[in-house]
Amino acid sequence: MSTPELDAADAGGSARAIYGAVFVGGMLGAAGRLGLGALLTTGSLPWAVLLANLTGAFALGFFFERLREHRLQGSARWAFWGPGLLGAFTTFSALQLEAVDYMRAGNAWHGVLYLVMSIALGVPVAACGRWIAMRSR
Domain count, the chain: 1
Domain residues for 96?
15-135
| Bigger pLDDT: 118 vs 45 | 118
- pLDDT of residue 103 exceeding 80, the answer is yes
- For residues 46-70, b (16+ Cβ closer than 10 Å) or e, as one string? bebbbebbbbbbbbbbbbbbbbeeb
Residue 76: predicted pLDDT? 85
| Residue 126 belongs to a domain | yes
Pseudo-torsion of CA 120, 126, 131, 136, nearest 10°? 140
Residue 8 lies in a domain: no
